[in-house]
Amino acid sequence: MNSIIKWLPLFSTNFFGVFNNNYFKFLIVTISVSWFSVQNTISAYIVSIASALFFVPYIFFSPLASKYSQIYYKKKLLVILRYFEIPVYVIGSIGFYFQNIYIVLTCIFLLGIIATIFSPAKYGLIRDIGGNKGISYGTGTIEMLTFFGNITGPIVASVISDNYNFLMLSVILIGVAIISLITTRIIKANEAKPESQNNESLNPLLFLINSFKWAKAYKGINLIVLALGVFWMVDGMLQMNLVVHCPNILKISNTQMSIVMSVALVGIGIGSYLAGVMSKGKIQLLFTIIGGACMSLFLLILFLINTKNVYLFTSFIFVIAFCSGIYMVPLSSYIQYKVEGRIQSKMISYSNFITFILLFAGSVIFGFISSWLGTNFVFIFLMIVMFTTILVLVLFVNEIKEKLFLFVKK
């Protein structure tokens, strides 16, 4: 039985960190648009640039994140990173006060660096807190709270942007950062002793090549890493598309848009949590295939009907998000289960590297299609269907081959 008390500090620091990152990013997306005279033209570009700047550090700093998580105690590393966040949020607040797009975009880039180094240490603590049997539960709950942080951050940012209040904006940013620091400091985990040294290359290209070769020792894990990366790319493109689809096609306000996004993220959160609970301590990759297939089906229907009814659209988004949560948890759990000890951080960093290359690619694709299609953002849904369908078919074929191999072996 998982005691919520031992998990609570890790779950809390994860939630507050995700909340603040998304709150800040969404403030940029909604408030900074008003600083420009041509708002309709600039909106999609700011969404794309802000997202890309948060993703880029994962591409360049994942090798460093891997190294730090192996040579330092993970909890200590998280505490140091939380201290670094506070001045970044202070500077970000100053950027909003002076309406300076360069300051706020620089801050989102710095927050991306912090999040890059934070991620492998955070996920690496799951086994240290709950053991092998706690991996699915811990992963599922962390992913659920991650998406709840993704919900509440944009909601609060939307309310602030519709009723602009600089003092409230700043108090929330800095206050949540301080609370997150406190929750990080009280984490208790049974960590293995850090490595005394680590000579891995910090060159991103060499890190990618070496990690791919190293991961081949773990059967099927490179495909799992790719599948998880595609999930996050799809999720990123969905979020960016909702930001522009809701006001342009559904004709709703920022606050109403945040409700639609909240429904989506609640769906992912519930799906993630249920996948973790239903796994019952095991890694159930069949959930990934079922969740991915259902996600593709409902996305295709949404594209075909092209509804402008807000309630129907939101219902479809919830179901799609729920299915994607079920799709994602077994993949993340599989990576943590297969690799033990300090080298687990290397695997998580490698997974993050692939994920954020794909997220960056998703931002570029989104920006290109947005400028090419103008307001016809519904086409993005069809592109996402194509990505997920291809991946689900690959995973399905791989699973069938694995089962057939075991059957023949017997």
Nearest of 139, 363, 374, 47 to residue 235 by alpha carbon: 363
The alpha-helical segments, DSSP class H, found in 192-220 are: 204-215
Length of the chain: 410
69: Cα separation from own chain's centroid: 19
Residue 197 lies in a domain: no
Residue 195 lies in a domain: no
Query: What distance in Å separates the CA atoms of residue 26 and residue 336, rounded to the nearest whole number?
Result: 30
Neighbours of 401 (CB within 10 A): 11
Residue 60 lies in a domain: yes
pLDDT for 1: 44
Residue 298 lies in a domain: yes
Number of structural domains (the chain) is 1
Structural domain harbouring 73? 4-190+203-409
Query: What distance in Å separates the CA atoms of residue 196 and residue 205, rounded to the nearest whole number?
Result: 25
Residue 254 lies in a domain: yes
**Whether 257 contacts 243, CB under 8 Å:** yes
Query: What distance in Å separates the CA atoms of residue 272 and residue 277, rounded to the nearest whole number?
Result: 9
pLDDT for 80: 96
pLDDT in tens, the chain (410 residues): 447 788 999 999 999 999 999 999 989 888 877 777 555 556 667 777 887 788 788 888 888 888 888 888 999 999 999 999 999 999 999 999 998 999 999 999 999 999 999 988 888 898 888 887 788 788 878 877 887 887 788 888 888 888 888 999 999 999 999 999 999 999 998 888 887 777 777 888 888 888 888 888 887 788 888 888 888 887 777 777 787 778 777 888 777 877 887 788 788 878 888 887 777 666 677 788 888 888 888 888 888 888 888 899 999 989 988 988 888 878 877 777 777 666 777 787 788 888 878 877 877 777 777 666 654 556 667 777 777 777 777 777 776 655 544 433 44
Residue 86 lies in a domain: yes
pLDDT for 276: 74
The strand ranges marked E within 99-168 are none
Residue 339 lies in a domain: yes
Handedness of CA 306, 312, 318, 323 (dihedral sign): negative
CA triple 281-284-289, angle to 5 deg: 160
Nearest of 248, 275, 244, 276 to residue 261 by alpha carbon: 244
Query: What distance in Å separates the CA atoms of residue 313 and residue 260, rounded to the nearest whole number?
Result: 9
Residue 368 lies in a domain: yes
CATH number at residue 368: 1.20.1250.20
The strand ranges marked E within 29-108 are none
The torsion angles phi and psi of 201, rounded to 5 degrees, stand at: -70, 140
pLDDT for 177: 96
pLDDT for 405: 40
* pTM for this model (two decimals): 0.74
Nearest of 108, 93, 104 to residue 22 by alpha carbon: 108
Reported as type and span, the H/E element at residue 202 is none
